[in-house]
Amino acid sequence: MAESNTLTRADLAEQLHGHIGLPRSQCASIVEHVITHICEALADGENVKISGFGTFVLRDKTERIGRNPKSGVEVPIAPRRVLTFRASQSLRDRIVSAG
């Protein structure tokens, strides 16, 4: 993993290469294909569950009234779709025990 503590697509491809030994270009292609498939499913309105990792959930938020913190003026906030991630219990347990 890079020194910036961020896992990148290249890091995933390198890990895949190290574990199964396919050529790096093919591993990078596999990573891209998986990410593309997840993105397309979310764009189509599907939730994505990766067992042992977590679930990406799309939620539709209704219109509501917000307040400008500086002026105090009420402003309508438009309805929108948001993406949330809920970590699986096994991922939560690994994070807690690693810290």
> Can you give the pLDDT of all 99 residues of the chain as single tens digits?
446 789 999 999 999 999 999 999 999 999 999 999 999 999 999 999 999 999 999 999 999 999 999 999 999 999 999 999 999 999 999 998 876
pLDDT reported for residue 4: 73
Assessment of whether the complete model's pTM goes beyond 0.85:
no
pLDDT of residue 3: 60
Residue extents of the structural domains in the chain: 1-43, 47-99
User: What residue type is 11 in one-letter code?
Assistant: D
Residue 59: its pLDDT value, please? 95
From residue 34, give the alpha-carbon distance in Å to each of 9, 48, 73. 11, 12, 45
Q: What is the structure's pLDDT at 2?
A: 46
- CATH code, 47-99: 4.10.520.10
- 43 touches 20 (CB < 8 A): no
